[in-house]
Structure 1
């Protein structure tokens, strides 16, 4: 009788162990990442424009009914590599990437391509992708934006001699590079205008403010205008000019179109702004939807915004 009880107890224990193993396995299966249709790697959400891109992209993808996974790289290229690795675990059909820098994602995107994810470059470009299949680029025309800033300053100086301080944008970003190229190429067409110096802004108001203050203290009366790569550098430059009492002596132009710049133009001393719309989500969602249906899509979409000064400021939406 005693042996029978021991035998029954052993059977019960074995059954319980089997049940636990099976359920743990099922739980593990549930915890594994479910496949998604679209994965998105954002460069950052640290300023008005990148935050607006993030919100608009997710809203449009979800409105279209896509399943989505996303990550914020927080302006860190190494984190972005890790983010892409994680996103690929979802086995996405499409991978949209907003690169922190033009260089550094080659291996990550090569892996995505090998895993059959269709790659879409969002807002920014990456270099050294000759052996990677990229479905499309959705962005604004950063080269033209730089050119338009040069035209704004030509209009401001109106034939007078103009010396300009350039405040550079985010280190290593394609937007910074294209704004600089566009601005310099177009400025060379105006014999009365020249860049006398260049300083770091790195997409940060505080950095731009500090560097503009340092430059102006060391080189007083040396410039009449500032070309800021983006509005973040532009607002930082305004902070510097206000602190030094030079707001009325030195004007500013920049690219993006945020609300703070609209306010600055209205207040005076900020001549104009070239719009770089952050609303890329609809184009992304429509492109993916068409591709899923087998409809041929454009490989490159580079939108141009408006140019705003005080004369048409009421038309500026701001974000």
Structure 2
């Protein structure tokens, strides 16, 4: 990794720290940091500690998880349009979470904390394995992968629709809010559960960044360079599925973060995953933090689902990316 990339990463980290401190003060109620720790209102400090701060930290975790999963998928499939939402991986996770929310299942309390993540992990991993096996066939191409993703998303959305139809009023409201993407139900316990899954997976991906670089040369070349290709592929599949599953189970469907951020970082930092992985992680965290801050302040005291906001921003980028690749292919 070059010194220029290192300087950019340190700059992104400092910028992210500044955005985090700023975001904790913004919302329906403005909470200046200077007044929180003076001899002032204890109620404001409790709002900051129990509501505002955990939500900001969860936005960082979820944004980092989505961007990092997109980075890994684009490297693993060697495809710049690979994304958890476009390929149906988020759809598989959402279907399994909807099953957990609607279908009556009795589990111990400790298991219940991780049950939505486990259900989402099973769904996302199953879809990712299908997509990965398809990407290895000789006749597979970008259009075929996207068509399969569209079909999987349609099936999963139909399944979620059936579950919404048979749900009661409370479950239906929960499914509706969760499906649009929101971080509004954040608690310290939720944040702790997410951190225990996202942080270890992120560390594992960062440690295999160099073998992932070698995988870009092709499986045979990577094997001759000393990479255990099947083991690396399985590891990346599991870690990516875990990141997507945790994000979807907690925040619902938040689209395009996993597509936009890694692609921008690849243009800016280059293809070296030693810089691309931390760059995507930091930028994804910052992007979702900004989006969530706008979502809870733009129409205050009401709140816009952050998933709708990211879709409004990401869809034009996706269209531009498709037309750009088409022009490149013609050239």
Larger Rg: 1
State the TM-score, normalized to the length of structure 2: 0.30
Judging by fraction of residues, say which structure has more helix. Answer: 2
Judging by fraction of residues, say which structure has more strand. Answer: 1
State the TM-score, normalized to the length of structure 1: 0.31
